Structure 1
Amino acid sequence: MPNCSPPLSRLNYDAEQKRNVASFSRRAIAFVIDWIILLIIFIALGLLVPQLGLNNYLSYLGGVFIYFVILPYFSKGTTIGKGGAVKISLVAEDESAAGFLQLLFRQFLFYGLALGNLFYFIPLVLVKFDSDRGSSRAFYFTILAIAGIALLLFLLDILVLMFKQNSKMFYEHMTNTREIGH
């Protein structure tokens, strides 16, 4: 009777791939933990120096740069939420350490554009749109529509990640990075 089971090397490879998956739930937990830590830092910083609080986009980008670029660069792709809590790492596509420019571009796309759009840009344009009664309203409306479409695409990307195991977010495709379990 012929052996119908896959070779051991294939079974080991499949097991390794499943172990290396950074599931949506693990990534979400890491995200929440990291944001709680970052919010605590921003609140404390805002109390000490009000101009450097979360309401300042440049301050926000600086905090993102330190916490989500510098920290992972020097800690093998981890942050406190990723490495300490859920044991995932941010790596290059070939699972080598992600380079500085990869981390910088990846985190700018996610935290600078996607989340920056949601928390800074859209609210700012909404205020301008609401206060403008002249001919600029069409301009602000167009900007809001573009920002809204970008935000919708980002949210659709999250839905795909939730339901399709091993899928990648748009910024991971663009930077040849991914998150793996360890």
Structure 2
Amino acid sequence: MEAMQMFQSMQGASFQFLHCWNELRFHPKWLGQFSMKKSKRSKNSSPATSSPATPDSINCREDECPTEGSSRPIGRKAAKERLKQGKDKHVASEITPVMLFIDEMKQDRKEKEIKRAELFGQIYVQEQERIKIEQARLQVAQEAQNIKKEKMRLKAMKQDERIMAINTDGMPPLQVEYYNKLKMEILERQFGGGSSN
């Protein structure tokens, strides 16, 4: 109560966070802080009789050294900061078989991904070669088809020439009419672009 009166006289207003103080005053962090302050203020204690477990007698930061009777761990922010700075030595020394197994699995996965990428590269090259071979095969087939068409055209032309060169003198009239009709069809096909019915 003296503290509240002193606060009011110094600040000119009453202490607004009394409900918070009532909630937190028995919390281990504040109990430790309170006991440290008491031990500092005691007039009878000498450096030889003071307990060596107080944070004042150990060279460590506030967030690293727990207070007496406190099982409060360091906060998230402090733990992250220590990890970033690499000062968390006890974490590095606590490498467990599970962590080693996880690291091995990560290495295996990386190796498998590299092998898979190489395999896909080889498959891609083989597929490109297969496509080139297929295109060459199609080109050869097309050229063979063109040659076949040309042979058929030449054969038909040779047949047409043979028919056109036939002498119809001395043939029976029915045979003459047949050959004349064939000659007319050949002429129409060559010059007219169509065929007669």
Larger strand percent: 1
TM-score normalized with structure 2 length: 0.23
Higher relative contact order (CA 8 A, sep 6+): 1
Structure showing greater Rg: 2
TM-score normalized with structure 1 length: 0.24
